[in-house]
Structure 1
Amino acid sequence: MSAADATYLDVDGAPVRVRVSGPASGPPVLLLHGIGRSLEDWQPAHDLLARDHRVISMDLPGFGLTRRVKARPARPGHPRLAAFARAAIGVLDALDERRPAYLLGNSLGGAVAMTVAVAHPERVAGLVLLSSAGFGREANVSVLPMTYAVLAAAPVVGKRFRPRARRAGVQVNRDLFFDPSHATEEMIRHAGTVGRQPDFRATFIGTALSLGVPLLGTYPGWRRRLLTALAEARVPTLVVWGDTDTVLPARHFHAAMAALPHARGHLFPETGHLPQIERAGELTALAAEFIRTTSDRRPVA
């Protein structure tokens, strides 16, 4: 599953893993993955969109195969979204992409995309938010696979926990989909590779705790501030969800449509947390139509 044509860009002195495809003259599209994931989550949609668009996927710093950028820890209620947003803008700058881009963000990546749109509205032509963080308190992100992975790496007792780490990782990937067959062996192996990266645990835990508290849910403050600013900015937005999402439930879709009354919306039936994989063809058709009908924003001076 690992993208063979991915490469690294220098972004503010640090290497960031990216994948760039499609005609250089096509509308620019930046794809942002969720917490603990990688650009591989976008691979089917990336390939389809690249027929007519300049498509850029990236590993957010500390996730995928990109190392974490050292920075001050975020205070509770002040998530690390700004750092991820700076990295996204840095990737566009490193590619000399100065046209307003369409940002497609899944889960955490949706909150990052919204943060970019609020901080740099001149760089954003539109947003496509897929099962995006930021629209509700619930966030069912399991830390069990990480716990088992830590134990599996421990001396003496590690061997005993390796089968449990494997089973937990398989189940977490299957739970992302309505149809668990989408959690292929290749995907599970790649997730294991990502989870063993040096910065993964610190980035995952730090990001999760900056967004909220386990069992109690996400903090309301950052969500309220972000959504208020985004609603005022009126950036063209398409909200997409799966009706069987177990990570960020589908009631968040209805909350998103209420918070962003200017937005378009689409709820996929029998679809989980990764519609860009489970509904790749339909999702990219929706996104392409959205881009076609909102592509009249002027380029950055």
Structure 2
Amino acid sequence: MSEPGGTRELQVAGRRTRVTVDGNPDAAPILLIHGLGRSLEDWAPQRGLLSAAHRVIAVELPGFGFSDPLDGPITLPALAEAVQDTLGVLGEDRPVHVVGHSMGGAVSMQLLVDHPDRVATLVLSNSAGFGRGATVLMRTLAVPVLGDGFSRVGARTGLRRFERTIYGDPSHATAARVEHALAINRRPGYRATMLEAIRLMADVRGVREPWRRELLAEVVRHPRPTLALWGDRDRISSVSQLEEIGRVLPHASRRVFAGAGHLPQVEQPERYAATVLEFLAAQPRD
């Protein structure tokens, strides 16, 4: 029997946390983790496609979307622990197939490092952690004071432009998606959360090297079947980062989505889901 779809609000460690849960609760679980400044709505096109044969859980990271922030500083271990706590509230104690997008890829790898028994496989989608490059906007926002002021200027125009930038085909930046982004941006405390997360990941020169180096050094100690996915028109994190994945995780399979940008799961949902399901079907079963 399938679980009812739709967004739920859970209490996780005293925080309001949004999730969606779809599919047969007895089926092998897939966990979906969104990226920096995003929300669980980024996974909406995947839920029905993946849940025919799996229990599909999409979580919203603390402070993003419409979920409450952490009580303390934003760190990758804190975000990974929040994901682990959410799985606990949902009663999901089996190893999960983790699909992490952008910063969610870094959180996925941190979850593997901190709770290796909880991660069966990794799907890293346009993932953070494999390159130093960062957009001019991200590097600007990473600068204290300058970034604070810049984040307050022209929110509507800036968000519309950013939404168009993240897709290979800008027509995916629909009015509804722009309005959703604006609604999130208007939440009290949201901009502070965004700036804190950006400054965790990057500085004026680009992606910070220490967290990236330390995380990858730990990830290689916990090898898991891994699939790396990327859109070849990604203007946020270049598809060339697949080469770095090949060096760091030589066992990883790699796939490119021609014409897609930073969100191939939205732009090419059927092909994306089919690629993930094919990868999972090829894994040995207990």
How high is the TM-score relative to the length of structure 2? 0.91
Render the CA deviation track for 1:254-283: whole Å, top value 9, x for unaligned. Answer: 111211011111011111000110111111
Tell me which of 96, 114, 124 is aligned to 1:119: 114
**Contact 1:85 1:115 survives alignment (8 Å):** yes
1:213 aligns with 2:208: no
Render the CA deviation track for 1:154-207: whole Å, top value 9, x for unaligned. Answer: xxxxxxxxxx43222111001001111111111111001111112311111111
Q: CA deviation at 1:36?
A: 0.7
1:123 aligned partner, one-letter code: R
Q: CA deviation at 1:295?
A: 4.9
1:131 aligns with 2:126: yes
Q: CA deviation at 1:28?
A: 0.5
* Residue range with higher mean Cα deviation, 140-149 or 40-49: 140-149
Aligned equivalents of 1:223, 1:59: Cα separation in 2: 22
Aligned equivalents of 1:55, 1:142: Cα separation in 2: 33
**Contact 2:148 2:195 survives alignment (8 Å):** no
**Contact 2:37 2:65 survives alignment (8 Å):** yes
1:253 aligns with 2:226: no
**Contact 1:26 1:53 survives alignment (8 Å):** yes
1:52 aligns with 2:59: no
Name the SS of the counterpart of 2:259 in structure 1.
coil
Structure 1 vs Structure 2: percent identity of aligned residues? 40
Give the corresponding residue for 1:236. Answer: 225
1:68 aligns with 2:57: no
User: Which stretches in structure 2 are left out of the alignment for 5+ residues?
Assistant: 142-146
Tell me which of 198, 221, 243 is aligned to 2:188: 198
User: Which stretches in structure 1 are left out of the alignment for 5+ residues?
Assistant: 75-79, 152-163
Render the CA deviation track for 1:3-52: whole Å, top value 9, x for unaligned. Answer: x9211112112221111111111111111111111000110012211121
1:34 aligned partner, one-letter code: G
| Matches for 1:1-301 after TM superposition, within 5 Å | 5-71=6-72, 73=73, 80-140=75-135, 142=137, 150-151=152-153, 164-214=154-204, 216-296=205-285
**Contact 2:96 2:119 survives alignment (8 Å):** yes
Runs of 4+ off more than 6 Å: none
Report the CA distance shift for 1:138/1:213 in structure 2 as closer, same or farther (over 3 A). same
Number of residues paired by the alignment? 275
**Contact 1:63 1:199 survives alignment (8 Å):** no
**Contact 1:242 1:272 survives alignment (8 Å):** yes
Aligned equivalents of 1:149, 1:120: Cα separation in 2: 35
Render the CA deviation track for 1:40-88: whole Å, top value 9, x for unaligned. Answer: 01100122111211111111100000010111x36xxxxx111110111
1:252 aligned partner, one-letter code: Q
RMSD: 1.8
Name the SS of the counterpart of 1:222 in structure 2.
helix
1:21 aligned partner, one-letter code: D
1:56 aligned partner, one-letter code: I
Name the SS of the counterpart of 1:60 in structure 2.
coil
Name the SS of the counterpart of 1:142 in structure 2.
helix
Aligned equivalents of 1:146, 1:165: Cα separation in 2: 13
**Contact 2:231 2:256 survives alignment (8 Å):** yes
1:127 aligned partner, one-letter code: L
Name the SS of the counterpart of 1:25 in structure 2.
coil
Render the CA deviation track for 1:197-240: whole Å, top value 9, x for unaligned. Answer: 123111111111111203x0111111111112212211111000
Aligned equivalents of 2:114, 2:91: Cα separation in 1: 19
**Contact 2:151 2:191 survives alignment (8 Å):** no
